[in-house]
Amino acid sequence: MEAENCRPLGFLIGLPFAFLSLILSLVGLLVWVIGSFLSCICPCCMCCAGIANFSVSLVKMPINVIRWFIDLIPC
């Protein structure tokens, strides 16, 4: 591992926030499943596509939060 990518403090500080965003990502997964089901029933419903995109961003949130904290705090 390179010395410039070594940021354990940012990782440790970001863990509680990543846990909270993990809970939100589970909600996003549920919304994504419901949105996918609704888009299969009624493919002309364009709002389901927006809901699905929003839920995918919720699912990716824990990784984004950890990366943000790691990039924010120097080694």
What confidence category does residue 10 fall into, taking pLDDT thresholds of 50, 70 and 90? low
Would you say residue 4 has pLDDT above 60?
A: no
Tell me the three state secondary structure of residue 3.
helix
CA distance 75 to 64: 19
Its pTM stands at 0.57
> Radius of gyration over alpha carbons of the chain, in Å?
17
- For 1-75, where are the alpha helices, taking DSSP H only? 8-41, 47-59, 61-72
